[in-house]
Amino acid sequence: MTPREKLQALLKEAADIVAKARDEDREFTDEEVTRIGELKTETDDLGEKVKAADEAQAAAAAMAGKAAATPARPAPALSGVKDRQEDGDAATFGERFTKSGLYEAFRKSNPSGVGQGSPVDIGRVRVGSMKEWMASRKATASPLQVALGHVAPIRMPMVDQVDRDSLTILDLISRGETAGAFEYLQVTGVTRNAAVVQDEILPGDEASALKPTSTMTTALADAKPYTYADGYDVTNSLLSDAPALATYMDQELEYSLDSVIEDKLLNGTGTGGEPRGLLHTTGVQELTYTPGSDAMAQVKAIRQAITKITTLPGGNVTACLMSPEDDEAWDLLQDTTDRFMGQGPFGQGPNTSWGRTRALSQRLAPGTVILGDWRQVALLDREGLSVLAFNQHKDYAQRNLVYVRAELRAAQVIWKPNRLIVVTPAGGGS
């Protein structure tokens, strides 16, 4: 058992002791007090070891990145199945998989490739944490700091040379870690009653003279880790080619996991073994509008929705999430002389909605827009990112195909639902 696995087992044991005492409505026994003290000592020690291992892994990845930028001395030819992809340290998720002990053992046992009907079961390989995966998504420092540039006061043909990333919901939300399932209070409403009061309040004074009290409406919610998984098919030939497989995985990992996580963050029902998404969370504000012949009705509705958020104490709109179809409708808006209201076909940005970042999601129905403080939505890493490869799937062994599955164990939370608002067309259509 690895230190990380042992740490998780000890944390679970401690949680079980707490849950048992709570269920039986009693204090800890002497034996439980002693055991909890032992668990704390052991978990503190293992926590330091896991932290040191993570820091070493991050340092190795950073050094590998520097090494990649420096011309290396040609390596001597080696016997066996090692190749140029395996000479350096693994820097990407795909390389971490192809450089793992499980994959290397598979390569050594199949030096000539995998034949038809050969069993393939490489097993689970942990290739990194969610923090590392998210950090590799964008090269820009902050996706919410959209460069608006200098807009000319007159319209004339121009070529916009500013490179702006296409943002998704995963670029907007908060990220963190969790040690397991927990309950938390979702803040669905806050009434601020702060006021200036007189120094002395006498018994005969009116109630309005009393010191004010603010109220907060909350709802109890569960944050439970779920396994977000998606897979893709590869040929036996590609599975045996470490450099090509690593390159392919680096491209597919982001697409595969982004798709399922984004869907559950928005559309998860909270039943049937899936988390509760934003569109099924009580407390999220709503606003409807009557669609017109173009996107102008939606444009005005979004401005009204911004006011509903910013009039809340501390309310802030960090981004507007919309479908690709609505994004197109915004870009095609024209004035009475057929001039494009945006940058037109020769410009790329600034891609904003009333000054707020415009992000896209294929998981939203056309006509529906979600905006607000996206930092109130968080994805918390539980076990990191792992990859499995096997052909005990359908008739893949006969077809010389292998199923590669990427998994991320994480929990999603929505701290303050009322800081977000869903704008939908009246009647549910666009």
pLDDT interval class at 87 (50, 70, 90): very low
The CA-CA-CA angle for residues 377, 380, 382, to 5°, reads: 160
Please state the rounded mean pLDDT for residues 81-108.
64
Q: What is the 3-state secondary structure (H, E, C) of 220-281?
A: EEEECCEEEEEEEEEEHHHHHCHHHHHHHHHHHHHHHHHHHHHHHHHHCECCCCCCECHHHC
Residue 215: burial class (beta carbons within 10 Å; 0-12, 13-18, 19+): exposed
Residue 319: burial class (beta carbons within 10 Å; 0-12, 13-18, 19+): buried
Q: Which of 14-28, 182-196, 318-332, 396-410 has the highest mean pLDDT?
A: 318-332
SS3 138: coil
- pLDDT tens across 283-336, in order? 999 999 999 888 999 999 999 999 999 988 888 999 999 999 999 999 999 888
pLDDT reading at 164 higher than 70: no
pLDDT interval class at 376 (50, 70, 90): very high
How far, in Å, are 145, 148, 355 from residue 344 at the CA level? 22, 15, 17
Share of the chain above pLDDT 70, in %: 74
Answer positive or negative: Cα dihedral of 269, 275, 276, 277: negative
Please state the rounded mean pLDDT for residues 14-40.
84
pLDDT interval class at 91 (50, 70, 90): low
pLDDT reading at 23 higher than 50: yes
pLDDT reading at 370 higher than 90: yes
- pLDDT tens across 112-135, in order? 666 555 677 777 777 777 777 666
Residues 318 and 146 sit within 8 Å (Cβ to Cβ): no
pLDDT of residue 269: 92
pLDDT interval class at 68 (50, 70, 90): very low
234 against 162, higher pLDDT: 234
Task: Tell me the β-bridge partners of 287.
Answer: 423
Q: Report the alpha-carbon distance of residue 376 to residue 416 in Å, rounded.
A: 6
Lowest-pLDDT range of 205-214, 267-276, 329-338: 205-214
pLDDT reading at 34 higher than 80: yes
Residues 364 and 370 sit within 8 Å (Cβ to Cβ): yes
Residues 6+ apart with CB under 8 A from 101: none
130 against 10, higher pLDDT: 10
pTM for the predicted model, two decimal places = 0.63
pLDDT reading at 414 higher than 60: yes
pLDDT of residue 267: 94
pLDDT of residue 399: 83
pLDDT of residue 9: 82
Average pLDDT, whole number, for the chain? 78
pLDDT of residue 150: 41
Lowest-pLDDT range of 8-12, 234-238, 420-424: 8-12
The strand ranges marked E within 351-400 are 352-353, 356-360, 369-372, 377-390
pLDDT reading at 75 higher than 90: no
Please state the rounded mean pLDDT for residues 250-271.
87
Share of the chain above pLDDT 90, in %: 26
Please state the rounded mean pLDDT for residues 54-68.
63
Q: Report the alpha-carbon distance of residue 189 to residue 417 in Å, rounded.
A: 9
How far, in Å, are 37, 120, 351, 391 from residue 155 at the CA level? 71, 61, 17, 58
Residue 94: burial class (beta carbons within 10 Å; 0-12, 13-18, 19+): buried
pLDDT of residue 308: 92
pLDDT reading at 73 higher than 70: no
pLDDT of residue 205: 61
In which residue are the tokens 């998704």 written? 168
pLDDT interval class at 89 (50, 70, 90): very low
